Structure 1
Amino acid sequence: MQQFFTILGGMGTLATESYVRLLDKRTPIHCDQDYLNYLVVNHATVPDRTTWILDHSQPDPNEALIEDIKQQSLLNPAFFVLICNTAHYSFDKLQAATEIPILNMLQETVNEIKKIKPDAKRVGLLATKGTLAANLYDPYIEKAGYELIKPTPEIADMTEDLIYHDIKEAGHSDGKKYHELVRKMIEEQGVDVVVLGCTELSFAEEMDPETKYPVADSQSIIVDRSLERALKLRQK
């Protein structure tokens, strides 16, 4: 297969399926051959990223991810898409394992804020406790000139409940919980836009009626960047 890219997924599987659904839905098609060429690595047994970030004595997810990257690099995809915000904790290490570019979901998400909310000053972040503890989004948001507002402990616990209990464990989203999280960040924390810094939250955004508040949905944004790159491959 020529002119293809590789999706590094399975973290979790429902979020990866959401990425693929959005990608296919947004691809301009008139026949089967108009869809994009891609490979999906649904590596569901990659150790939990947050668990490892909070306690490095736990299984390291990077070993599995680097193995996937090296295996897939032999096939020479045009680029990689890493479908997990928290896995970007080791972005530099993962990129060092291959000469093939890996799209940076965090950077692309922050770049999009100026289009979503041009007058934004205070940017809220909903994410796993691993992403929050490791300050993954902090340098991107602050370098872009925004004030970063992280969730209160209460909101962080509510976010973990939705991500892990409802989506990762039970296999479904809870729209009421999701919309309440965004509402709290906008109305109670006073932010101008909320970054959905976990692909499970992106899954929640896809599954339930879209929130009325401005959000920078990391997975939706990386879908658009993937589509742009993949369509350019066909022009070469």
Structure 2
Amino acid sequence: MVKTIGILGGMGPFATIDLFQKIVSNTPAKIEQDHHQIIIYNNPKIPSRMEAFNKGAKSPLQELIRSAFVLKRAGADFIIIACNSAHIWIDELRRNVTIPFYSMIENTVQHLLECNSNVSEKILLFATESTIQHQLYQNAFKGSTYKIVLPNEEEQKLVTLAINDVKTGEIHTNSYIEELNQMIETYQLEGISRIIGGCTEIPLLFPYFDTDIKLVDPTFLLAKLAIKKAIELKS
């Protein structure tokens, strides 16, 4: 029997929809029954990952664990998380829940390492302040030929505002697209070859980025991994 995918979502809801859609859209299905069983727990009541890490607000850990147990009890065989910042707590989640968690960050880095031809590349990271400060991507790339470039303080404020717009449904009407494109153009002139959408809201803005820089979508890569894991037979 094939496996059931569990999506721990709600962080935010539009990013969760994006992950679900990318799983369905990239599943090679000739008939309806070829698609995968997916259980989504869209829990937007999980406390803010950014405020917990940056401002000492309530930790999301207990609600993340509870949400994972909801998915496990519902029949999920493994869990993927539609949020990069939530991966700050992935080790605790793995210790508390017995079914596997597959990491969006580990998967993205592994994909890029497999693509790399040992040529040094500079990657611009668009992510939340908590993901950046916790060095989730920076640590994962240590020892590789990739160099992670971070926006400066003012640029990061712009990225954060754009992320918050997406969380409220402002995607094609996002107020910050023009400024983001100006920022991207500047970084392209400085030799940036890729941009990682290191917050699950950022890939939703990719269609509006006016650039030739390669755009790395961790949500898409996680969807592909979930499809692969779903067809593995249960032991």
Identity %: 23
Query: Number of aligned pairs?
Result: 231
Q: Which residue of 1 aligns with 2:201?
A: 200
Deviation at 1:46, TM superposition (A): 0.9
Deviation at 1:121, TM superposition (A): 2.5
Deviation at 1:73, TM superposition (A): 2.2
Listed one character per residue, the Cα deviations across residues 131-151 of structure 1 (whole Å, up to 9, x for unaligned) are 112212111011334222211
Q: Which residue of 1 aligns with 2:138?
A: 138
Q: Which residue of 2 aligns with 1:225?
A: 225
Gaps of 5+ in 2: none
Deviation at 1:191, TM superposition (A): 2.4
Listed one character per residue, the Cα deviations across residues 95-128 of structure 1 (whole Å, up to 9, x for unaligned) are 1111211111111111122455643432221101
Q: How does 1:1-236 map to 2 (within 5 A)?
A: 3-56=3-56, 58-114=57-113, 118=117, 119-164=119-164, 166-173=165-172, 174=174, 175-188=177-190, 190-205=191-206, 207-208=207-208, 211-233=211-233
Gaps of 5+ in 1: none
1-side partners of 2:184 and 2:104: how far apart? 20
Residue type of the partner of 2:89? S
2-side partners of 1:109 and 1:29: how far apart? 25
Say if 1:79 and 1:170 are closer, same or farther in 2 by CA, change over 3 A.
Answer: closer
Say if 1:90 and 1:32 are closer, same or farther in 2 by CA, change over 3 A.
Answer: same
- Farther off after superposition, 213-222 or 145-154: 145-154
2-side partners of 1:54 and 1:86: how far apart? 11
Residue type of the partner of 1:153? E
**Superposition CA RMSD, Å:** 2.3
- Farther off after superposition, 77-86 or 208-217: 208-217
What secondary structure, in the 3-state scheme, does the structure 2 residue paired with 1:143 have?
coil
Say if 1:85 and 1:91 are closer, same or farther in 2 by CA, change over 3 A.
Answer: same
2-side partners of 1:210 and 1:76: how far apart? 42
Residue type of the partner of 1:102? F
Contact 1:7–1:82 (CA under 8 A) maintained in structure 2: yes
Say if 1:69 and 1:182 are closer, same or farther in 2 by CA, change over 3 A.
Answer: same
Deviation at 1:178, TM superposition (A): 4.7
What secondary structure, in the 3-state scheme, does the structure 2 residue paired with 1:51 have?
helix
TM-score (normalised: structure 1): 0.88
